[in-house]
């Protein structure tokens, strides 16, 4: 069966969605909707500036929502009202946890599958790291660190050429960007029990925080650190490939993620390293993780296999995110049910 996919949103990041859908066998892109009809028309698909009209005319099996969080709930509700049973929605997913919970309940009532487009865990280096951890190659994991260093946050024009709404978000570093690693850390190390956060705002041109450190206590015993600073860079030919570097340390060795997307393993008490994953040659976004996520959803539609990042599970990510902000405000470590 050919799966009919319609997309809502034709802004900057949507290009990666449209490109990925065009490369997935058995998918027919049947419509693009945007409040700016010219942008929708630029996709070279049937173009709409009215969502209900697109849902009626295109009759999609799957609706892909690629719009900012303020529009998530209304767009999902329109899809549910039109009888769409498969919906993918961009992260951070709705305006807040309360709204997200309501939407998850409505999707369940409609017997629809709602998936959050959280694609970082689908980046090839994190899949390779997960395989290494599952195989026990570096023993018991004790510590993990990711340093976010995209180098795009300096000056009054920061983000204006790509995603200008970044400048006006009251919560930025964690809500928009760090949430990727909240989900990725859960994927790699399991549930989170406590967090401690110290956040700060460095660029006066933006409203929200753009640097900070977050400490995660995982129930598995792993202690993970997210160290984010959008003003600083790292060694890479493309600062947006991995957006930083990571070290995962176990009792038998260490895994290192580099800015070129390569992963190396060093055995405990050894100087030499083994290449786990070579440097990425993909010039697009994030090791083609958008294609990987969307292909994962299509496989689930065809084979009724399990899904990663269903919205009901992603509520845990939003809860952790809220606890991070509460910890920063309180100036102390908080449990996930403490705020």
User: For 283, which DSSP code?
Assistant: -
Regions in the chain scoring below 70 on pLDDT: 338-339
Edge-to-edge order in the sheet of strand 211-218: 274-277, 263-267, 253-257, 244-250, 141-148, 223-229, 211-218, 192-200, 334-335
Tell me how far apart the alpha carbons of residues 328 and 219 are, in angstroms, rounded to a whole number. Answer: 21
Q: Which of 113, 55, 43, 115 is nearest to 81 (CA)?
A: 55
Q: Which among 81, 72, 75, 73 is positioned nearest to 110, based on CA atoms?
A: 81
Query: What CA–CA distance (Å, rounded) separates 102 from 337?
Result: 19
Is residue 250 within 8 Å of 144, Cβ to Cβ?
A: no
- State how far the alpha carbon of 228 is from the alpha carbons of 113, 148, 160, 202, in Å: 33, 4, 20, 12
Residues counted in the chain: 339
pLDDT of residue 162: 85
Q: What is the mean pLDDT of the chain?
A: 96
- State residue 163's pLDDT score: 86
pLDDT of residue 338: 57
pTM of the model: 0.94
- Where along the chain do the CATH 3.30.360.10 domains lie? 121-286+317-335
121-286+317-335 is classed CATH 3.30.360.10: yes
DSSP class of 280: P
Distance of CA 336 to the CA centre of its chain: 21
CB 28 within 8 A of CB 15: no
Q: Please choose, from the candidates 29, 45, 62, 21, the residue with its C-alpha nearest in 3D space to the C-alpha of residue 288.
A: 21
21 SS3 class = helix
Predicted local distance difference test score (pLDDT) of residue 113: 97
Task: Tell me the pLDDT tens digit for each residue of 194-250.
Answer: 999 999 999 999 999 999 999 999 999 999 999 999 999 999 999 999 999 999 999
CB 160 within 8 A of CB 306: no
Phi, psi (deg, nearest 5) at residue 314:
-65, -15
Rounded-to-integer distance, Cα 255 and Cα 224, Å? 14
According to CATH, where is 3.40.50.720 located in the chain?
A: 3-117
Report the Cα 61 to chain-centroid distance in Å: 23
Strands 47-48 and 274-277: unpaired
Angle at 13 between CA 92 and CA 88, to 5 degrees: 50
Strand blocks (E) in the chain = 3-8, 27-33, 47-48, 62-65, 86-90, 113-117, 141-148, 192-200, 211-218, 223-229, 244-250, 253-257, 263-267, 274-277, 334-335
Kindly indicate whether the domain formed by 3-117 is annotated with CATH number 3.40.50.720: yes
- Main-chain phi, psi angles of 161, to 5 degrees: -80, -10
Closest to 258 measured CA to CA, from 111, 142, 136, 125: 125
Per-residue b/e over 271-290, b at no fewer than 16 CB within 10 Å?
Answer: eeeeebbeebeeebbbbbbb
Sheet holding 62-65, edge to edge: 47-48, 27-33, 3-8, 62-65, 86-90, 113-117
How far from chain centre, in Å, is Cα 201? 22
């Amino acid at each position: 069966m050919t799966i009919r996919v319609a997309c809502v949103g034709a802004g900057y990041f949507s290009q990666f969605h449209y490109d990925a859908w065009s490369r997935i066998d058995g998918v027919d892109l049947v419509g693009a909707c945007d409040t700016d009809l010219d942008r929708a028309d630029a996709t070279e698909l049937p173009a709409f500036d009215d969502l209900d009209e697109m849902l009626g005319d295109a009759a999609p099996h799957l609706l892909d929502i690629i719009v900012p969080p303020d529009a998530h709930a209304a767009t999902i509700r329109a899809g549910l009202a039109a009888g769409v049973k498969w919906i993918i929605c961009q992260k951070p997913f709705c305006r807040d946890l309360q709204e997200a919970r309501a939407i998850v309940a409505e999707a369940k009532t409609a017997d629809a599958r709602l998936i959050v487009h959280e694609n970082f865990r689908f980046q090839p280096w994190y899949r390779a790291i997960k395989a290494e951890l599952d195989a026990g190659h570096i023993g018991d994991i004790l510590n993990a660190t990711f340093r976010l260093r995209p180098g795009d946050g300096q000056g009054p024009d920061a983000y204006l050429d790509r995603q200008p709404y970044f400048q006006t978000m009251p919560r930025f570093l964690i809500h928009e960007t760090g949430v990727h690693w909240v989900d990725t850390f859960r994927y790699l190390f399991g549930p989170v029990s406590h967090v401690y956060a110290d956040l700060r705002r460095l660029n006066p041109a933006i409203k929200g925080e753009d640097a900070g450190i977050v400490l995660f206590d995982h129930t598995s015993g792993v202690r993970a650190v997210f160290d984010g600073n959008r003003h600083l860079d790292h060694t890479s030919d493309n600062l947006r490939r991995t957006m930083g570097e990571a070290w995962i340390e176990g009792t038998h060795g260490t895994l290192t993620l580099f800015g070129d997307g390569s992963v190396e393993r060093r055995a405990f008490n050894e100087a030499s390293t083994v290449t786990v994953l070579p440097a990425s040659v993909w010039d697009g976004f994030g090791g083609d993780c958008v294609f990987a996520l969307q292909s994962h959803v299509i496989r689930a539609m065809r084979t009724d296999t399990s899904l990663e990042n269903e919205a009901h599970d992603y509520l845990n990510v939003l809860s952790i995110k809220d606890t991070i902000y509460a910890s920063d405000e309180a100036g102390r470590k908080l449990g996930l049910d403490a705020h």
